[in-house]
């Protein structure tokens, strides 16, 4: 069974810091990663790993940064503290007791030497020499010293009081260490409390045995009798046992982290100081049962302390719990594959361990998926997140907006047709009627004008001044196929992301501004394939070798044959044709290109030309092979070629497309 942490949510009261990032901001932050790798879930994971800056410029830590902080915190604690200091303090206290006792014995011997009563002098001297011999023969180990001193008849009352005080303190610390393993609420336990705790542990052991035998333990009855031991208020036996397993695993980690000598010292002290053997037996039995029930609780953990700051038992137990929580948090963060997995984090505990910034960052990262889902940008299907159509449109709009900002629209001009008036396409706008306009009334606005003029009432009487007619826009329909090079050279030369952004922008431009136009999408690598617009964000490059333009032209020509209007192919590539489909239907690859591949590709270009399809090519790496091929292609097809770079590819493609539309409108080319 695995031990889980959970979020603790609270109602918004107006004081909490808000999430300064909107869902659109989050989508924009991961867009480049998503478009480059074509994997939404991986993009979300990488965003979680790297973090981001919110709209206010505040840093949201990524998991990598948190893990580094966590490892640094652990290292500082291990380098600060000394686990063996527990025993150093005890050893020093015992040495102080022995020194006080030796001084008292020496003083008695000195006093006896000056005693005029010979008989009394001899008795005192013999007695003190025996005491000195006992002190000299004290065992070197702490447990042995405690055992001998418990039966030793002290000469010094100060030494006796100091020893008894030390024993009471050690006994309380050891007892509390047992209590800490099974209860988080009991301090300064009375004898009655100790008896109840033994009964509680005995009943817990019995319930674990019942469960192992397939029986149903009486958890509610147990909590009625012993619930005051558990301030966490567990709701079932599993939750109770998880808490106890964590505490007892922390104590076991402390034992594991000790040297063999230190471990023996603790065990010896426990036997000497804890007379109640039944309590020890119940704790050991419960530990064994919990180890069997929770094998992954970290029972084998151990730490290498190298500091000088000594710890007492209570401090050591607290530190072990803290180190265990650090380990658990590290394991959870390291294995978190999506934002939802972070819901297992106890944010309050993370704040104690790593500070406010890390805790707030964890809360923000955990909100990523929920925000995107609630905004309708992603959806969960079978445990994986997918983009919604709304998100795809948003990515395209963002890409289009970025490109048009770069184009300086005040210089280039808007891409809609500038001339409005009579035509066949509604412009969803209206104007006051003028003599000569088609009498295509906008009824709603015409009636509204009449009501505004007359002040309401029925019947509504119209005058020519009320007439408002619909504007229409001169448009012609075009059909475009975008051929996108998916060969391995595209990402290798950093051409893939700019090309894909242009594809998204072009799709957004056509679907929003020219909805009657057709846009087909064809990717080509070793072979070519058609893909739909909704697939575009997750399209990735082809890991096999080959730039199969011939197959892409073949598919594009087939797609355009089903369309009306002017037809064009926009090809974005960084390499010459190195593959084609043979007569048998198999792909063939060769680099450098062989004449058979070039001829097969130009044959498809000729077929496109005969069918009136214009081919415009945007070359991202105009090497001599590609330049020579494109010259042949443009000479045959009469299309245009652009030698461009990843930085200005979008400028060329969008401006050319828009100017092409304007030319079509200006020339009034038929549909």
- CA 637 vs CA 571, 572, 612, 622: distances in Å: 13, 16, 9, 19
Q: Are 289 and 205 in contact (CB under 8 A)?
A: yes
Residue 473 or 546, more confident: 546
Inside any domain, residue 395: no
Residue 28 host element (H or E): helix 23-37
Q: Which of 96-110, 223-237, 494-508, 644-658 has the least mean pLDDT?
A: 644-658
Tokens 């966490």, residue?
Answer: 232
Q: What is the 3-state secondary structure (H, E, C) of 282-350?
A: HHHHHHHHHHHHCCCCCCCCCCCCCCCEECCHHHHHHHHHHHHHHHHHHHHHHHCCCHHHHHHCCHHHH
Final residue of a structural domain among 302, 334, 358: 302
Residue 654: per-residue pLDDT: 62
Final residue of a structural domain among 442, 473, 504: 473
Contacts of 88 (CB under 8 A, 6+ apart): 82, 310
Inside any domain, residue 562: yes
Smallest CA-to-CA distance from 552 within 537, 573, 583 is with: 573
Residue 656: band (very low, low, confident or very high) from pLDDT cuts 50, 70, 90: low
* pTM, to two decimals: 0.58
Span 204-211, average pLDDT: 85
Burial 98-109 (b: 16+ CB within 10 A, else e): bebbbebbeebb
Span 209-214, average pLDDT: 85
State whether 484 and 578 are in the same domain: yes
Q: Cα dihedral angle (109, 110, 116, 117), rounded to 10 degrees? A: -10
State whether 651 and 544 are in the same domain: yes
pLDDT digits (tens, 9 = 90+) for 535-548: 888 888 888 889 99
Contacts 24+ apart (CB under 8 A), 74-80: 74/323, 74/326, 77/319, 77/322, 77/323, 78/303, 78/304, 78/305, 78/306, 78/307, 79/306, 79/307, 80/307, 80/309
On the CB side of 421, how many CA atoms lie within 13 Å of its CA? 6
Residue 184: band (very low, low, confident or very high) from pLDDT cuts 50, 70, 90: very low
On the CB side of 188, how many CA atoms lie within 13 Å of its CA? 0
State whether 507 and 540 are in the same domain: yes
Which structural domain, as residue segments, surrounds residue 346? 23-81+325-387
Total structural domains in the chain? 4
State whether 98 and 53 are in the same domain: no
Range among 283-292, 508-517, 601-610, 622-631 with highest mean pLDDT value: 601-610
Angle between helices 157-182 and 237-257 (to 10 degrees): 140
Inside any domain, residue 318: no
Final residue of a structural domain among 270, 302, 334: 302
Report how far residue 176's alpha carbon sits from residue 280's, in angstroms, rounded to the nearest whole number.
12
Report how far residue 456's alpha carbon sits from residue 438's, in angstroms, rounded to the nearest whole number.
28
State whether 158 and 283 are in the same domain: yes
Span 347-367, average pLDDT: 85
Inside any domain, residue 102: yes
Please state the φ and ψ torsions of residue 570, each to the nearest 5 degrees. -105, 115
State whether 244 and 170 are in the same domain: yes
DSSP H helices, 493-586, are 496-513, 549-560
Inside any domain, residue 8: no
Burial (CB count within 10 angstroms: exposed 0-12, middle 13-18, buried 19+), residue 214:
exposed
Report how far residue 48's alpha carbon sits from residue 61's, in angstroms, rounded to the nearest whole number.
8
Inside any domain, residue 206: yes
Q: What is residue 654's DSSP assignment? A: H
Q: Is the pLDDT assigned to residue 173 strictly greater than 70?
A: no
Residue 521: per-residue pLDDT: 94
Report how far residue 631's alpha carbon sits from residue 502's, in angstroms, rounded to the nearest whole number.
24
CB atoms within 10 A of CB 113: 10
State whether 225 and 364 are in the same domain: no
State whether 525 and 620 are in the same domain: yes
E strands, 388-485, in order: 420-421, 425-432, 468-473, 478-485
Span 581-585, average pLDDT: 91
Inside any domain, residue 430: yes
State whether 224 and 176 are in the same domain: yes
Structure token digits, residue 656: 């050319």
Q: How far is CA 331 from the centre of its chain?
A: 13
pLDDT more than 90, % of the chain: 11
State whether 232 and 123 are in the same domain: yes
Structure token digits, residue 82: 């000394």
State whether 505 and 377 are in the same domain: no
State whether 358 and 292 are in the same domain: no
Inside any domain, residue 18: no
């Amino acid at each position: 069974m695995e031990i889980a942490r959970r979020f603790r949510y609270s109602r918004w009261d107006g004081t909490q810091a808000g999430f300064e990032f909107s869902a659109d901001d989050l989508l924009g932050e991961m867009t480049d990663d998503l478009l480059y790798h074509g994997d939404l879930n991986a993009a979300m994971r990488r965003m979680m790993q790297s973090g981001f800056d919110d709209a206010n410029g505040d840093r949201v830590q990524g998991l990598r940064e948190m893990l580094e902080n966590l490892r640094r915190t652990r290292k500082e604690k291990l380098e600060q503290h000394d686990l063996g200091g527990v025993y150093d303090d005890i050893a020093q206290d015992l040495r102080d007791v022995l020194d006080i006792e030796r001084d008292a014995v020496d003083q008695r011997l000195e006093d006896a030497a000056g005693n005029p009563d010979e008989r009394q002098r001899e008795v005192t001297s013999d007695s003190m020499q025996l005491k000195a011999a006992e002190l000299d023969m004290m065992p070197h180990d702490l447990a042995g010293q405690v055992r001998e001193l418990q039966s030793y008849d002290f000469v010094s009352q100060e030494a006796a009081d100091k020893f008894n005080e030390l024993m009471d303190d050690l006994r309380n610390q050891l007892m509390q260490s047992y209590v800490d393993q099974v209860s988080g609420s009991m301090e300064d336990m009375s004898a009655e409390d100790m008896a109840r705790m033994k009964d509680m542990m005995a009943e817990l052991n019995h319930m674990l045995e019942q469960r192992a035998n397939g029986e149903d333990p009486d958890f509610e009855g147990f909590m009625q009798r012993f619930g005051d031991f558990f301030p966490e208020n567990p709701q079932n036996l599993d939750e109770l046992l998880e808490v106890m397993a964590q505490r007892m695993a922390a104590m076991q980690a402390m034992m594991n982290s000790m040297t063999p000598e230190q471990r023996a010292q603790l065990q010896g002290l426990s036997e000497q100081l804890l007379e109640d053997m039944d309590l020890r037996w119940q704790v050991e039995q419960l530990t064994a049962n919990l180890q069997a029930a929770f094998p992954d609780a970290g029972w084998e953990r151990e730490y290498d302390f190298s500091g000088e700051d000594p710890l007492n038992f209570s401090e050591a137990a607290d530190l072990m719990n803290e180190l265990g929580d650090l380990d658990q948090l590290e394991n959870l963060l390291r294995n978190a594959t999506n934002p939802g997995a972070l819901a297992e984090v106890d944010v309050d505990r993370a704040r104690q361990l790593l500070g406010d910034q890390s805790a707030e960052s964890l809360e923000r990262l955990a909100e990523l998926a929920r925000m995107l889902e609630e905004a309708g940008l992603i959806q969960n299907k079978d445990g994986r997140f997918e983009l919604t159509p709304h998100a795809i449109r948003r990515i395209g709009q963002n890409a289009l907006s970025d490109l048009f900002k770069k184009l300086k629209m005040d210089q280039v001009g808007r891409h809609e047709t500038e001339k409005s008036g009579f035509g066949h396409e509604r412009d969803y706008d209206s104007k006051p009627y003028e003599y000569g306009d088609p009498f295509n009334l906008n009824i709603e606005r015409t009636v509204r004008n009449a009501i505004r003029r007359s002040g309401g009432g029925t019947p509504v009487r119209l005058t020519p001044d009320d007439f408002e007619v619909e504007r229409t826009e001169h448009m012609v329909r075009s059909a475009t196929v975008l051929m996108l090079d998916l060969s391995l050279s595209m990402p290798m030369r950093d051409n893939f992301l700019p090309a894909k952004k242009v594809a998204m922008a072009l799709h957004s431009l056509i679907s929003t501004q020219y909805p009657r136009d057709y846009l087909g999408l064809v990717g080509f690598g070793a072979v070519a394939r058609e893909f739909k617009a909704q697939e575009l964000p997750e399209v990735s490059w082809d890991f096999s070798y080959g730039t199969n333009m011939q197959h892409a032209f073949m598919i594009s020509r087939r797609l355009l044959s089903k369309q009306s209007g002017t037809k064009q192919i926009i090809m974005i590539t960084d390499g010459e044709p190195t593959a084609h489909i043979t007569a048998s239907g198999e792909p063939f690859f060769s680099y450098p290109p062989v004449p058979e591949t070039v001829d097969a590709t130009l044959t498809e270009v000729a077929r496109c030309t005969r069918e009136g399809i214009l081919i415009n090519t945007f070359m991202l790496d105009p090497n001599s092979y590609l330049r020579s091929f494109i010259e042949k292609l443009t000479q045959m097809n009469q299309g245009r070629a652009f030698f461009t770079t990843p930085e200005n590819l979008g400028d060329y493609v969008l401006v050319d497309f828009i100017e092409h539309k304007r030319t079509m409108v200006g020339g009034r080319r038929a549909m």
